[in-house]
Amino acid sequence: MLTRLKEFLAKLSLFSFLFRNRFTINTAKIMKSLKAKSPEEPGYKDIQVRWLITKDDGAKNFAMRYFEVKPKGHSAHHSHSWEHEVFILDGHYLVECGDQEKRVGPGYAIFIPPNVPHCFKNVGDKTLKFLCFTPYEK
């Protein structure tokens, strides 16, 4: 029975549509990123990043990334010339921004201004998951 079902679904164009990673509906692009990468810069620990939307997808103003940080994982202290926005999906995050820090969790949104030293640390006991949006430098 399962074999027949697979054969039937294989014949449908919908089947191949569902298992592609990127497809277009009119001018909208829909992506599913399966490839995660660890940052190569020093100071990062137990972090995986998936680039969900980039210039390659036609996004002219910003990129969207999805992060997973294992317990006790963290970024390096760093700063850059662009702002970024973060939305916490799951887990608990200690954000250090300038000389202050705050523990946040699911549902929190964070705005980090340009040129402000910052880092994030997973201070919970499960994987931290968040979205990060960054504009392209102009």
Residue 17 has pLDDT above 50, yes or no: no
Quote the mean pLDDT of the chain: 83
pTM over 0.85: no
Span 96-124, pLDDT tens digits: 988 899 999 999 999 999 999 999 999 99
CA distance 36 to 95: 22
Span 31-81, pLDDT tens digits: 676 678 888 888 999 999 998 888 888 889 999 999 999 999 999 999 999
Contact residues for 75 (Cβ-Cβ < 8 A; gap 6+): 39, 43, 44, 47, 119, 120, 121
- pLDDT of 41: 84
- pLDDT of 22: 60
Domains of the chain: 27-135 (2.60.120.10)
